[in-house]
Chain A
Amino acid sequence: MPEDLNWAIGGEAGDGIDSTGKIFAQALSRAGRHVFTSKDFASRIRGGYTAYKIRSSVDRVESVVDRLDILVALTERTIEENMDELHDGSVIIYDGERTEMADVEVPEGMIGLDVPLKSLAEDAGGAIMQNTVALGAACEATNFPIENLDSALDKKFGSKGESIVENNKEAARLGQEYVQEEYDYDFDYDIDTTDNDYVLLNGDEAIGMGAIAAGCRFYSGYPITPATDVMEYLMGRIQQYGGTVVQAEDELSAINMALGAARAGARSMTATSGPGIDLMTETFGLVAQSETPLVICDVMRSGPSTGMPTKQEQGDLNMTLYGGHGEIPRFVVAPTTISECFHKTIEAFNLAEKYQTPVFLVSDLAMAVTEQTFEPEEFDMDEVEIDRGKVVDEDEIEAWTDEKGRFQPHFPTADGISPRAFPGTKDGAHMSTGLEHNALGRRTEDTDIRVEQVDKRNQKVKTAEEEEDWSPRTFGDEDADDLVITWGSNEGALREANQFLSDEGISVKFISVPYIFPRPDLTEEIEAADNAIVVECNETGQFANVLEHDSLTRLDRINKYTGVRFKADELADEIKQQLSQEVQA
């Protein structure tokens, strides 16, 4: 009996695909099963093909694969779109009474369950519950205890009143019973459950949660896919912790508001996606030059220009590394998993305040819209540490004033980090500017002071390189001859690809790098490897390029820029193929 279940619901945008998918994901999670979800969606409100996919297992799952076991198809197109992933024995649940489904032909070898979703939903109290009927049918087809679905329905509809919850439960029962009575199949699936309690969340939510945990109190942003969930998460929650969210008139305003709040002493953040990052670029230099701690989050999507707003890509790395005129000291941190979105957000705030610099927190669409189960302890709030850096209070101010008693916010220290006085601190009044300035923050064109201040700002990065831990994460076979390096959301798929490869006796060492700048020096590992391949979702190999620059070694690449994230089985095949080509060559 396969343990690994791949389930999907697909239809038109507006069919309730997302919420139905999420209910089933929660039902599985409540049954103590791990879940990993993904979404296919188009950039429109209604209409257009949309699907919500779930991979579930009692073991941890971290990627999607090219296989679909159960498909709830609300439109005929749903079957066509997923034909590649369907296989012998796949179950397709559909409503033959729907006019658009009247001509459906279930491919040979697959099991079609024609369930009158709408009329059964009407029997339960309303046609609107047809998706719930389908979930009941899916429970039967997978031998999944329907009580777990009840629990997810409680959570979803609890606030809408008991009758709505009960009607939905009834709708699910009718779907389950219909399949029981009408179809005499011995379904392949016999889903195990466990007593574990998991939490289910996506990358944007993890970033928002990390921000609150880290003491972020001010967030300003402008709605943009796929970063908007960060703002929506914070809105309504950050207020409970004394903070606020401002929906700005544009991204220029968003980053400048965040900058203002940061100068007032608040831990402050903005999040956007590629086109918004372009607009914010103007202010990057000011943030760095005025030495303001700020977390700027880029949830990447397909570019350039408006590109494919609802599709995956890791194309903004160069932008975050090099964006902005002049030379800007900065940190670029890129979480590689959803739980890291939480942890690295906290780290980003500490880096920003400790070194008084902009910190780019780079995530991507694949993490933003993907939900995954975790043990709640993975987000242990007791472990959160806050480092506000060199903040001076009114008693300490004097040590940092000049002979005229003026506070020197840009005093050139050995580690490059100057004292910081929050506005309101007695005798700390000072001016900050994007102009080149002296220790007082006043404009200067003095050549010596210019050099001193540029060196001071860059010294902060050098200090951080020494003081902080920039290690990557390693998995797979530590002693393998072949090396695969990645960054961003590909780690999960590579972990599973590693499983596929080792099942075939192929051993590979994997390195997943969450720090782009500063970043770990991988030269030794690269030199030691027979083959070193960099996996990333872009065409030009932006990360491979910087690693080549570091190691002066030509690296092989696996690049995907279809707009769809890597899948585990696909990656295993690609890696295998590249390694065998190398052997032949």
Chain B
Amino acid sequence: MSSEIRFTDFKSDKQPTWCPGCGDFGTMNGMMKALAETGNSPDDTFVVAGIGCSGKIGTFMHSYAIHGVHGRALPVGTGVKLANPDLEVMVAGGDGDGYSIGAGHFIHAVRRNVDMTYCVMDNRIYGLTKGQASPTSREDFETSTTPEGPKQPPVNPLALALSAGGTFIAQSFSTDAQRHAELVQKAIEHDGFGFVNVFSPCVTFNDVDTYDYFRDAIVDLDETDHDPTDRDAAKEKILDADKEYQGILYQDENSVPYSELHGIEGNMAEIPDGAPEGAMDLVREFY
């Protein structure tokens, strides 16, 4: 059905400027593959990103896109999706973008449950500013701004999402290409806010959370008896600080997206040439 669109159609002719070996290549490829698999075309896809390495994604992909200000990608995506529900909205962020400066927006985007997909390229470090601690950095991770480690626990994005009423919470590993693309695809297909935290290693500044580390540490939920519709089971897994899970942690099968609850249907770009029909009623109300 989606045979006409291939994932390479979403590639721009601009070569990515990420460091060789960066996890973001795999993250982006999986997003493009998932978009193609779900039958979307570049002309009806809108990619939103903030600032940082993740923010560059709109340049390297071919679609309608905006590269916004730091941490505010989710509100922009919300506006795009509500104004034109026909668009497939894909929001990309980094761990600093999403869980530090944009943490407030993250929680509220989760609760709002707008039907879009949010992929966070989580490398547990600030890469583009050359190696400072991020909100997901380990407590003892030494960086230029935390010479003895941040000495504060990392943010648990999955727990934030679950507590805020998240309806689709998944985690993937950018280099496990097939599985990552499959999880993003499920996030796209989910009716509501599809959140995927993607382990996307930084090969330049993070020598702790490396490809090797994740390869060893990851437990795939498909190889366990985890039931993603069981919120209590999800809570238990998400709060287990000793494991790195891959897969759908939680999915609410009864999720109703924001636009449906608020009766938003049409493309708001389409308006009449003058005032809308019956607009004088707005005046008469003031008699």
Contacting residues, chain A, for B279 (C-beta < 8 A):
212-213, 381, 384
Q: Which residue from chain A places its CB closest to the CB of B112 in the assembled complex?
A: A246
Q: Which residue from chain B places its CB closest to the CB of A209 in the assembled complex?
A: B282
Q: Check A265 against B13 for contact (C-beta < 8 Å).
A: no
Q: Check A424 against B283 for contact (C-beta < 8 Å).
A: no
**The stretch of A38-46, A61-69, A112-120, A431-439 that contacts the partner chain:** A431-439
Q: Check B44 against A199 for contact (C-beta < 8 Å).
A: no
The answer for the CA separation of A239 and B271 in the assembled complex, in Å, is: 13
Q: Which residue from chain B places its CB closest to the CB of A425 in the assembled complex?
A: B43
- A427 CB-CB contact with B under 8 Å: yes
Contacting residues, chain A, for B268 (C-beta < 8 A):
217-218, 242-244, 261, 264-267
- B82 CB-CB contact with A under 8 Å: yes
Q: How many residues of B contact A (CB 8 A)?
A: 57
Q: How far is the CB of B48 from chain A (nearest CB, A)?
A: 7
Write out, one digit per residue, whether chain A residues 276-317 have a CB within 8 A of any chain B CB (1) or not (0): 000000110010001000000000000000000000000000
Q: Check B262 against A244 for contact (C-beta < 8 Å).
A: yes
The answer, among A242, A256, A264, A384, for a CB contact under 8 Å with B72, is A256
The answer, among A220, A384, A429, A443, for a CB contact under 8 Å with B42, is A429
Q: Check A376 against B284 for contact (C-beta < 8 Å).
A: yes
Q: Check B62 against A429 for contact (C-beta < 8 Å).
A: yes
- A462 CB-CB contact with B under 8 Å: no
- A164 CB-CB contact with B under 8 Å: no
In the complex where A264-B269, A265-B84 touch, is A259 in contact with B79 (Cβ < 8 A)? yes
Contacting residues, chain A, for B82 (C-beta < 8 A):
218, 244, 246, 257, 261
Contacting residues, chain A, for B69 (C-beta < 8 A):
256, 282-283, 286, 434
Write out, one digit per residue, whether chain A residues 171-208 have a CB within 8 A of any chain B CB (1) or not (0): 00000000000000000000000000111110001000
The answer for the CA separation of A282 and B76 in the assembled complex, in Å, is: 14
Q: Check A215 against B271 for contact (C-beta < 8 Å).
A: yes
The answer for the CA separation of A197 and B287 in the assembled complex, in Å, is: 7
- A241 CB-CB contact with B under 8 Å: yes
Q: Check B43 against A381 for contact (C-beta < 8 Å).
A: no
Q: Check A386 against B87 for contact (C-beta < 8 Å).
A: no
Q: How far is the CB of B245 from chain A (nearest CB, A)?
A: 28
Q: Check B64 against A433 for contact (C-beta < 8 Å).
A: no
Contacting residues, chain B, for A290 (C-beta < 8 A):
66
- A499 CB-CB contact with B under 8 Å: no
- B67 CB-CB contact with A under 8 Å: yes
Q: Check B83 against A261 for contact (C-beta < 8 Å).
A: yes
Contacting residues, chain B, for A430 (C-beta < 8 A):
64-65
Q: Which residue from chain A places its CB closest to the CB of B76 in the assembled complex?
A: A260
The answer for the CA separation of A168 and B45 in the assembled complex, in Å, is: 58
Chain A 247-263 residues near chain B, CB threshold 8 A: 248-250, 252-254, 256-263
Q: Which residue from chain B places its CB closest to the CB of A30 in the assembled complex?
A: B287
Q: Check B79 against A239 for contact (C-beta < 8 Å).
A: no
Q: Check B274 against A384 for contact (C-beta < 8 Å).
A: yes
In the complex where A209-B283, A217-B268, A257-B78 touch, is A426 in contact with B43 (Cβ < 8 A)? yes
- B241 CB-CB contact with A under 8 Å: no
Q: Check A264 against B67 for contact (C-beta < 8 Å).
A: no
Contacting residues, chain B, for A400 (C-beta < 8 A):
none
- B280 CB-CB contact with A under 8 Å: yes
Write out, one digit per residue, whether chain B residues 70-95 have a CB within 8 A of any chain A CB (1) or not (0): 00100111111111101100000000
Q: How far is the CB of B114 from chain A (nearest CB, A)?
A: 9
Q: How far is the CB of A508 from chain B (nearest CB, A)?
A: 33
The answer, among A241, A264, A386, A426, for a CB contact under 8 Å with B79, is A264
Contacting residues, chain B, for A47 (C-beta < 8 A):
none
- A423 CB-CB contact with B under 8 Å: yes
* Interface residues on chain A, size class: 35 or more
Contacting residues, chain B, for A267 (C-beta < 8 A):
268, 271
Q: How far is the CB of A258 from chain B (nearest CB, A)?
A: 6
Contacting residues, chain A, for B265 (C-beta < 8 A):
242
Q: Check B87 against A264 for contact (C-beta < 8 Å).
A: yes
Q: Check A442 against B287 for contact (C-beta < 8 Å).
A: no
Write out, one digit per residue, whether chain B residues 265-282 have a CB within 8 A of any chain A CB (1) or not (0): 111110111111001101
Contacting residues, chain A, for B128 (C-beta < 8 A):
none
Q: How far is the CB of B47 from chain A (nearest CB, A)?
A: 8
Q: Check A432 against B78 for contact (C-beta < 8 Å).
A: no
Q: How far is the CB of A182 from chain B (nearest CB, A)?
A: 35
- B38 CB-CB contact with A under 8 Å: no
Q: Check A429 against B43 for contact (C-beta < 8 Å).
A: yes
- A422 CB-CB contact with B under 8 Å: yes
Contacting residues, chain B, for A262 (C-beta < 8 A):
79, 83
Q: Check B79 against A237 for contact (C-beta < 8 Å).
A: no
Q: Check B79 against A423 for contact (C-beta < 8 Å).
A: no
- A385 CB-CB contact with B under 8 Å: yes
In the complex where A217-B271, A382-B274, A386-B271 touch, is A424 in contact with B77 (Cβ < 8 A)? no
Contacting residues, chain A, for B64 (C-beta < 8 A):
263, 423-424, 428-431
- B218 CB-CB contact with A under 8 Å: no
- B58 CB-CB contact with A under 8 Å: yes
Q: Check B75 against A257 for contact (C-beta < 8 Å).
A: yes
Contacting residues, chain A, for B179 (C-beta < 8 A):
none
The answer for the CA separation of A237 and B84 in the assembled complex, in Å, is: 19
In the complex where A404-B13, A422-B269, A431-B66 touch, is A260 in contact with B58 (Cβ < 8 A)? no
Q: Check B67 against A263 for contact (C-beta < 8 Å).
A: no
The answer, among B14, B79, B81, for a CB contact under 8 Å with A220, is B79
Contacting residues, chain B, for A382 (C-beta < 8 A):
274-275
Instruction: List 10 A–B pairs whose Cβ atoms lie within 8 Å, in order of A's numbering.
Output: A199-B287, A213-B276, A257-B78, A261-B79, A282-B72, A386-B272, A423-B44, A424-B87, A431-B65, A443-B59
Known: A262-B83, A286-B68, A423-B43. 7 other contacts (CB 8 A): A244-B262, A244-B264, A252-B75, A382-B275, A384-B279, A427-B43, A442-B14
**4 nearest A-B residue pairs (beta carbon):** A260-B79, A265-B269, A215-B271, A266-B268
Interface residues of A (CB under 8 A from B): 30, 197-201, 205, 209, 212-215, 217-218, 220, 237, 239, 241-244, 246, 248-250, 252-254, 256-268, 282-283, 286, 290, 376, 379, 381-382, 384-386, 404, 406, 422-435, 442-443
